[in-house]
Amino acid sequence: MILGRAISVASTVVMALVLAKWHDLHATIGHVAIGWTVGEDILTVALLLLLPLIFSQSPNVMGA
Protein backbone atom coordinates (compact mmCIF):
# COMPACT_ATOMS: atom_id res chain seq x y z
CA MET A 1 0.00 0.00 0.00
CA ILE A 2 2.80 2.41 0.86
CA LEU A 3 4.71 1.60 -2.33
CA GLY A 4 1.60 2.22 -4.42
CA ARG A 5 1.05 5.59 -2.78
CA ALA A 6 4.68 6.57 -3.37
CA ILE A 7 4.38 5.69 -7.05
CA SER A 8 1.20 7.75 -7.39
CA VAL A 9 2.99 10.81 -5.99
CA ALA A 10 5.85 10.35 -8.46
CA SER A 11 3.36 10.18 -11.33
CA THR A 12 2.39 13.83 -10.73
CA VAL A 13 5.86 14.99 -11.70
CA VAL A 14 5.94 12.74 -14.75
CA MET A 15 2.51 13.94 -15.87
CA ALA A 16 3.51 17.58 -15.47
CA LEU A 17 6.64 17.03 -17.56
CA VAL A 18 4.72 15.22 -20.31
CA LEU A 19 1.99 17.87 -20.39
CA ALA A 20 4.62 20.61 -20.59
CA LYS A 21 6.39 18.81 -23.44
CA TRP A 22 3.10 18.47 -25.36
CA HIS A 23 2.23 22.14 -24.61
CA ASP A 24 -0.97 21.05 -22.84
CA LEU A 25 0.00 22.11 -19.33
CA HIS A 26 -1.99 25.36 -19.53
CA ALA A 27 -4.92 23.86 -21.46
CA THR A 28 -8.11 22.73 -19.75
CA ILE A 29 -7.09 19.08 -19.92
CA GLY A 30 -3.76 19.94 -18.28
CA HIS A 31 -5.47 21.80 -15.46
CA VAL A 32 -7.85 18.91 -14.82
CA ALA A 33 -5.06 16.32 -14.90
CA ILE A 34 -2.76 18.26 -12.58
CA GLY A 35 -5.63 19.12 -10.23
CA TRP A 36 -6.61 15.46 -9.99
CA THR A 37 -3.07 14.30 -9.23
CA VAL A 38 -2.51 17.05 -6.68
CA GLY A 39 -5.71 15.93 -4.95
CA GLU A 40 -4.37 12.36 -4.91
CA ASP A 41 -1.09 13.64 -3.44
CA ILE A 42 -2.90 15.45 -0.63
CA LEU A 43 -4.88 12.30 0.20
CA THR A 44 -1.65 10.28 0.10
CA VAL A 45 0.01 12.53 2.66
CA ALA A 46 -3.06 12.33 4.89
CA LEU A 47 -3.06 8.53 4.63
CA LEU A 48 0.65 8.28 5.40
CA LEU A 49 0.15 10.48 8.47
CA LEU A 50 -2.74 8.30 9.66
CA LEU A 51 -1.05 4.92 9.10
CA PRO A 52 0.67 4.85 12.51
CA LEU A 53 -2.65 5.57 14.21
CA ILE A 54 -4.51 2.96 12.18
CA PHE A 55 -1.99 0.17 12.79
CA SER A 56 -0.89 0.99 16.34
CA GLN A 57 -0.95 -1.95 18.76
CA SER A 58 -1.59 -0.01 21.98
CA PRO A 59 -5.10 1.24 22.73
CA ASN A 60 -5.56 4.98 22.57
CA VAL A 61 -6.92 5.98 25.97
CA MET A 62 -8.40 9.47 26.16
CA GLY A 63 -8.04 11.42 29.37
CA ALA A 64 -5.60 9.07 31.07
pLDDT of residue 41: 86
pLDDT in tens, 35-60: 998 998 898 888 888 888 888 876 66
pLDDT of residue 60: 60
| Extents of the domains making up the chain | 2-51
Residues in Cβ contact with 11 at an 8 Å cutoff, skipping those fewer than 6 apart: 37
- Give the separation between CA 32 and CA 10, rounded to whole angstroms: 17
Residue 5: which of 52, 53, 37, 34 has the closest Cα? 37
